[in-house]
């Protein structure tokens, strides 16, 4: 197997970036700035694949102050092989907060494809309506902070409109209890044009529905979707819950990725 980490670094970090269709990426003195283009979801991220040179603290402060001036929350996405080796400590000293470590896992998409073994009454399908978006937000709100169904004003059933055509490089999926029940698992896949990589993002399962094959089913469906479009390699930033599943399917942990965040003014 080729050196996956070297391919990832060259094709993604030094190349096209993370592959989100709702962001713009620019280079400033060897640093990659990624800024959301979605007015409903403002955010910014910095990556330093080339290191930080002779004065890393000054460059950290410049990026922090730049995005503070724009009123944007900033995530500095680090990898365990970044230079300088004490980058995390320097970010903390500059006022950033360390978030949870995740495993950078890489491998063949084909290893993720398998038979779908869904619980009775559950279907995997793409997002289609504004109601689907709301139900996925309810799931994420519950999994990552809040009560089931508490997002968006308690989950009121507004009229559901069809979503406009999405970006062809992205596929968002959900697992829903039929006929009109809650979304119990959701995830998306982003293709990185010009590379071999497809990024697997946002995989979240309701706690009461874990260990029932839903994460595995959405993983398989996303991998097949990417393979059908000519992609070969998977990239996942895996939590401790998903890392054993991915490792069992053949993906390799090649590094640790850790976000450091600096809140926008007025957001704590």
Q: For the chain (length 268 residues), average pLDDT per consecutive 10?
A: 87 89 93 93 95 97 97 97 98 98 98 92 94 92 69 51 92 89 95 96 94 95 98 97 95 98 75
Same-domain check for residues 123 and 252: yes
CA 145 from chain centre, in angstroms, equals 17
Return the CATH number at 237.
Answer: 3.40.630.30
95: helix, strand or coil:
coil
Please tell me the predicted confidence (pLDDT) of residue 150: 41
3-state DSSP assignment of residue 193: coil
Q: Are residues 98 and 10 in the same domain?
A: yes
> Do 69 and 187 sit in the same domain of this protein?
no
- Does residue 21 belong to any structural domain of this protein? yes
The pLDDT value recorded for residue 117 is 87
Predicted confidence at residue 89, as pLDDT, reads 98
Residue 266: the pLDDT is 57
Residues 86 and 154 in one domain: no
Domain total in the chain: 2
Q: What is the pLDDT of residue 205?
A: 95
Backbone angles phi, psi at 245, to 5 degrees: -65, -45
pLDDT at 153: 37
- Inter-residue long-range contacts of 13-16, CB under 8 Å, 24+ positions, other chains counted: 13/47, 13/49, 13/79, 14/49, 14/50, 15/192, 15/194, 15/195, 16/192, 16/193, 16/194, 16/195
Residues 83, 146: one domain? no
Same domain, yes or no, for 144 and 248? yes
Give the domain extent around 179.
109-256
Which H or E run contains 234? strand 233-238
Considering the domain architecture, whether residues 250 and 128 belong to the same structural domain is answered as: yes
């Amino acid at each position: 197997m080729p050196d996956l980490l070297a391919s990832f670094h060259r094709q993604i970090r030094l190349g096209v970036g993370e592959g989100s269709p709702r962001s713009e990426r620019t280079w400033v003195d060897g640093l990659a700035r990624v800024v959301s283009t979605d007015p409903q979801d403002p955010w910014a991220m910095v990556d330093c694949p080339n290191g930080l040179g002779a004065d890393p603290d000054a460059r950290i402060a410049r990026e922090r102050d730049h995005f503070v001036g724009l009123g944007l929350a900033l995530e500095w996405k680090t990898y365990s092989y970044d230079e300088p080796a004490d980058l995390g400590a320097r970010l903390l000293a500059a006022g950033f907060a360390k978030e949870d470590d995740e495993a950078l896992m890489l491998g063949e998409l084909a290893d993720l494809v398998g038979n779908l073994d869904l619980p009775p009454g559950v279907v995997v399908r793409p997002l289609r309506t504004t109601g689907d978006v709301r139900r996925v937000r309810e799931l994420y709100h519950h999994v990552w902070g809040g009560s089931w169904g508490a997002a968006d004003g308690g989950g009121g059933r507004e009229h559901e409109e069809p979503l406009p055509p999405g970006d062809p490089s992205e596929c968002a999926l959900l697992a829903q209890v039929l006929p009109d029940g809650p979304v119990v698992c959701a995830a998306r896949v982003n293709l990185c044009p010009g590379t071999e990589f497809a990024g697997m993002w946002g995989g979240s399962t309701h706690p009461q529905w874990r260990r029932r094959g839903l994460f595995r089913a959405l993983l398989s469906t996303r991998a097949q979707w990417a393979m059908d479009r000519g992609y070969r390699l998977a990239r996942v930033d895996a939590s401790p819950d998903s890392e054993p599943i991915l490792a069992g399917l053949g993906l390799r942990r090649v590094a640790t990725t850790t976000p450091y965040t600096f809140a926008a003014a007025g957001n704590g």
